[in-house]
Amino acid sequence: MVYENPDGVKIGLEVHVQLNRLNTKLFCGCSTDYHNDEPNTHVCPVCLGLPGSLPVINERAVEFAIKIGLALNCEIVGQTQFHRKNYYYPDLPKGFQTTQYDYPIASRGKIVIEGEDGERIIRVTRAHMEEDPGRLQHIGTIEKSKGTLINYNRSGMTLIEIVSEPDMRSPKEARRYLDKLRSILDYLDVFNGDLEGAMRVDANVSVFNGERVEVKNISSFKGAERALLYEIMRQKNHVRRGGKIVLETRHFDEARGVTISMRTKEEEHDYRYFPEPDLVPMRVADRVPGILKALPELPDAKRERFISQYGIADMHARALTTEIRVANFYEEVASQVDPKTAAVWVADILKGELNYRDIGIDAFTVEDIVTVIGLVKEDKITEQSGVQIIRTVLDEGGRPQDIVVSKGLLKVEDDIVAKAVEEAVAESPEAVADYLAGKEKSLNFIVGKVMQKTKGRADAREARERVLARISK
Ligand SMILES: Nc1ncnc2c1ncn2[C@@H]1O[C@H](COP(=O)(O)OP(=O)(O)OP(=O)(O)O)[C@@H](O)[C@H]1O
Ligand SMILES: [Mg+2]
Ligand SMILES: [Mg+2]
């Protein structure tokens, strides 16, 4: 089925990724480990932009940027250069942001997503390096704030801005793009996506070939999806009423789920870009082959390998390769038990229980899931008991082998049940005769005896079936 895109929706995303795995900031030696510290404690003349201070490039940041560019199938520029993007705002005391302009470190890449109608290629326009500004904290809501606090700890952190072409046709596709991007970055180990502000999205959207509107202040992927849904509806209604969409920047109000007009969008010439005189152009081409060689296996490649190597379903392979930690976990499990069974237990059951509790795979061990799978495989416990063990480990702690005993989950051995059925039938000739004469309730008497003899550990329904099979012979 082909997706028609009836409203001519076009979505292009600008994603700012903070490389918080670097130890120091982009142009100075300030530590990046500020997330739990007091405001304005990780600052120096360089990241505060004091006059006379000089930036020195963080070489490892350049390496990370190239790594990201290559992972997004981009071309890496031979020689890159920084520019000054001039604007005045208190989050940027220098009066300009040091960023990249016409020589971005990476350009013309692509990300493959599961689109509305199958696989879809989203083109990546470019990925460039820039410094993060400080963080403004408005007291109250942004429109009627009584005052604003500024924290410069974030100022000068390394950002990679990844800009896509307007190739997405629905909020869902935008969400898939973001998920995929995060997954790739996660594999590269360049950032910790759980830290506040690690990935920030500006969403551009237009309908019916109109002007684009840029929505800022989106704080989560879910927020991006919601902001886009709202904005598409707003634009469509506006156009239907005869209105015209103008190029503007809107703010997403997360609590109310609406976008609010902030300002008309700056044009490029407003920024008066010019080359950063304090940083010389940098030749990076020589570093590319080495970084390319060291690039890890990425989600798409891993998914394909899982399918061919382990013979598992595409759906499972997808679920197992989104997060690198889950993929590694699965491979360890699959080396010890049947890989297909392992896929069901890790992708369907364990991941489901983890998602439900909003916790990561680290909360469970390979050893424990292997034990659970083994118990089910050997028919010592039912599948349902296996799930119960996983839940107990997650909620109360403990080891599966102990929980099996403490919760009495071991299945009663087959021959014990068989023996109990034999005995119960032999001891109840009258009940058997009554049942055969049409008194159905007499069966309960015999089943009760079986349960008594097995101390209640036999499955009642199974016991009933066995008694029936025995006496109707
Ligand atoms: N017609 C359109 N509909 C939706 N999105 C669009 C359209 N045209 C362009 N875009 C998207 O708008 C984004 C423009 O981002 P880019 O960083 O190039 O410029 P900018 O938003 O003007 O700059 P800034 O970084 O200062 O916000 C891209 O993601 C692009 O795909
Ligand atoms: Mg941009
Ligand atoms: Mg923009």
What ipTM was predicted for this assembly?
0.98
Distance from the CA of 342 to the center of ligand 2, in angstroms?
43
pLDDT digits (tens, 9 = 90+) for 317-344: 999 999 999 999 999 999 999 999 999 9
Distance from the CA of 14 to the center of ligand 2, in angstroms?
6
The answer to whether residues 60 and 22 touch, using CB atoms and an 8 Å cutoff, is: yes
Closest residue by Cα to atom 13, ligand 1, is: 12
Ligand 1 atom closest to residue 166's alpha carbon, by position in its atom list: 31
Distance, in Å, from the CA atom of 292 to the CA atom of 215, rounded to the nearest integer, reads 35
Residue 8 backbone zone (phi > 0: left; psi -120 to 50: alpha; other: beta) = left
- Cβ of 164 closer than 6 Å to ligand 1, yes or no, is yes
Distance from the CA of 199 to the center of ligand 2, in angstroms?
14
Distance from the CA of 216 to the center of ligand 3, in angstroms?
8
- pLDDT at 40 (0 to 100): 97
Q: How many CB atoms lie within 10 A of CB 355?
A: 10
Distance from the CA of 202 to the center of ligand 3, in angstroms?
6
Bridge-based pairing state of the strands 213-218 and 248-253? parallel
Closest residue by Cα to atom 4, ligand 1, is: 205
Each as own residue / partner, the long-range contacts of residues 228-237 (CB below 8 Å, 24 or more positions apart, any chain) are 228/11, 228/171, 228/174, 228/203, 229/171, 230/257, 230/258, 230/259, 231/203, 231/205, 231/259, 232/7, 232/9, 232/171, 232/205, 232/207, 234/259, 235/205, 235/206, 235/207, 235/210, 236/7, 236/207, 236/208
Distance, in Å, from the CA atom of 191 to the CA atom of 82, rounded to the nearest integer, reads 22
Ligand nearest to the CA of 247: 1
- Cβ of 248 closer than 6 Å to ligand 1, yes or no, is no
- pLDDT at 402 (0 to 100): 93
**Which residues have C-beta under 5 Å from ligand 3, the single-atom ion?**
14, 202
Ligand nearest to the CA of 202: 3
- Cβ of 249 closer than 6 Å to ligand 1, yes or no, is no
Q: Which two tokens stand for residue 258?
A: 């609406």
- Cβ of 12 closer than 6 Å to ligand 1, yes or no, is yes
pLDDT along the chain (473 residues), means of 10: 93 97 97 95 96 96 98 97 94 95 97 96 98 89 82 97 98 97 96 89 96 92 96 96 93 93 77 94 96 97 98 97 97 98 97 95 97 93 92 96 88 77 92 91 92 80 88 76
Please tell me the number of Cα atoms within 13 Å of 336 on its side-chain side.
14
Bridge-based pairing state of the strands 106-115 and 118-131? antiparallel
Ligand 1 atom closest to residue 211's alpha carbon, by position in its atom list: 1
Distance from the CA of 91 to the center of ligand 2, in angstroms?
17
- pLDDT at 458 (0 to 100): 77
Choosing from 101, 123, 204, 247 the residue with most ligand 1 atoms within 8 A of its CB, the one to mutate for a pocket test is: 204
- pLDDT at 411 (0 to 100): 77
For residues 34-48, one letter each, b for 16 or more C-beta atoms within 10 angstroms of the residue's C-beta and e for the rest, the string is: beeeebeebbbebbb
- Cβ of 226 closer than 6 Å to ligand 1, yes or no, is no
Choosing from 102, 163, 202, 232 the residue with most ligand 1 atoms within 8 A of its CB, the one to mutate for a pocket test is: 163
Distance from the CA of 158 to the center of ligand 3, in angstroms?
18
Q: How many CB atoms lie within 10 A of CB 79?
A: 10
- pLDDT at 473 (0 to 100): 63
Look at the block and give the residue holding tokens 């979505």.
11
Contacts of 86 (CB under 8 A, 6+ apart): 95, 96, 271, 272, 273
- pLDDT at 10 (0 to 100): 98
Distance from the CA of 40 to the center of ligand 3, in angstroms?
27
Distance from the CA of 310 to the center of ligand 2, in angstroms?
41
- pLDDT at 341 (0 to 100): 97
Choosing from 125, 130, 212 the residue with most ligand 1 atoms within 8 A of its CB, the one to mutate for a pocket test is: 212
Q: Residues in the chain, how many?
A: 473
Bridge-based pairing state of the strands 158-164 and 258-264? unpaired
